[in-house]
Structure 1
Amino acid sequence: MFVCAGCGTELTAPVSRVALPVHADYGAWEELHPPLMDPGTYAAEPRSVVVIAPGDSRGMSLIPEKCAGYCMGIDGRDGPNLACEGCGRAVATRRDDCGLWQVIWLEPDAVRRVASGLPAVPVPGWDQLDLEAYAVPPVELDGSWSRRWHAAVPVALAHLVVACGGRPVELPGPLAELVGATAGCLPAGPPVLTSSLAGPGTPAPRPGADVLLVPRHPVTGETWRPPYGAAPPAVPLDIGVWAHLALPGETSPLPASGTLPEGVLRDDYPLPLRPRHAFRPHHRAFADTLERLRGIRSPEPPDTPSPAGPGRGAATASSPPGSGTSRPPRA
């Protein structure tokens, strides 16, 4: 858990470290968002900025004069807006305005991590993950594209562009069908390279693939590596997106054999959700990731504003160090 560096007041519930989601900085403008982090987890960046879910906060209260926002909540523009209830020290910033994932960012110099006394949570290996439980559908219940897909797909596409050296590449079928031309993120022209989905629990990719789209571990942030010999370059893809694309699911409302009895109608099978418009990748997510990977400065389009978090830049798209057998700190 994390406590106030000044007086020791507990500021969070017991939390275990996980990878920072790649969509942390990229939301849908003028829409309310859910919490970025799952309950009982935290993520940290190289500059030691720590993020938790608002529900895991303890012993903090809002500083009223620092709670400005755009229209529906607090956007953190005034800096730390949460004070320790023990000593009054500014210790964190809450953000929950429209276009922002709900988070609390702990100030690195105002808090310290202490052991909670609970057993460390083992990091699951790839063969221990319930991959189907991680799958995130591309379309929300209201017919809009998933905010997570909106950001995670262009982050992966930026990695793909770099892995392919800027050459045109053909996306694997499921991804190509869902996102179409990806709004110009990929180089134009007839494909000269091919990509394929690969990962744990799936068959080996078809021969001839030039690059693999593989899942990113939800805890360590590591990119999955094929267990078989030499393999093409691997591009990390958000595990929620990857699991939906790569894993088989129920595809028919009909029985496995035979037919439904005469006069019987099945009403427990939902029709597939249809988006209201074509998929539009979050261009800031693509441009920011490409800039980090290649040092290319790309113009920021005006239609996808999203203020950065306090004292931090965009979410990291590269894989942080770690291993499938290490144990994350349980604070």
Structure 2
Amino acid sequence: MTGVEQASGPGDWRVYHGTGLVAETPVEVLPTPPPWRQFDGAGVVERPADDSAERDRRIGRLRRQPRVPHPNEVLMVNAALHLGRPLLVTGQPGTGKSSLAYLIAAELGLGPVLTWPVTSRSVLKEAIYHYDAIGRVQAAGAQLPEQADIGDYIRLGPLGTALLPFEKPRVLLIDEFDKSDIDLPNDLLNVFEDGEYEIPELVRLAKRQPEATVLTADRGGTAVVRDGRVRARAFPIVIITSNGEREFPPAFLRRCLRLEMRRPTVEQLGLMVAAQLGETEGVDIRLLIENFVERSERAGGLATDQLLNAVHLAAELATSGAYRTDDEWKDLLAAVWQPLQSTESE
């Protein structure tokens, strides 16, 4: 049975339960979005195999019991699934905003997460596709016509790949969106509304070459593009993360649902540590977590990976018999648990 099946009950409208358990098979039925969020992309593209190594790195590989999510997380993820809308996830660094995309993909069995890490130089086109015109010209100039097929020089970006006509939606993570240029949120609006885009270089060749096999953002992935146009079949599950460092335009916010990730509780942190590191002999994990939570409150927030670093270090010292809760260990904790803010409140 999958984690979804274990958590579901009669009449339960939820598909996602936030268990952190990995589905053995993809979820059979997903919510039907409203008519204005349904798309009819033709020619189903096969989803690649799951990237278990990346998934385990992100959400842990040793989970023996279900994760305990905040109720609002489950509520808003399911609302996004039912409405076919992007989910804008805000919260302090280290609260698990990016991990949410991997939790959804793992629990619903939707394959590898497509990731677009946003910077101040990011533009919409790079997320959709890239055309290596110079490489193609060089191949043609070298009199290698068999190596000059235009599809070999077009690579879809993470957003462009997510909008391919997959039978079930892909999960797309747009990470740290508040770092983007001021115009990027508005640039995304048409793509989010239309669920499609064109590749002008292929449109110009459509009469002579109606189909082109292009590269995708998936490792070793390819897809056939017809008439230079890509249209979604199942709109992707889009998770957009923000550290709350800027405001977004009202038109953009209107098209998103919003979720604020809260700091994990002691119990939630314990389950996370167990999923990543398993049993740890010779270390009082609960005490270490309680110390972490106390310091995090004083520091204005610490990242959960700082806790994992401390637990791993304590476990390594315990294995060698060198683990002592003395001044040296406190100095190590102070180095590992550096405040994320410039100053720590007393």
Q: TM-score, normalised by structure 2?
A: 0.22
Q: Which has the larger radius of gyration?
A: 2
Structure with higher helix content: 2
Q: TM-score, normalised by structure 1?
A: 0.22
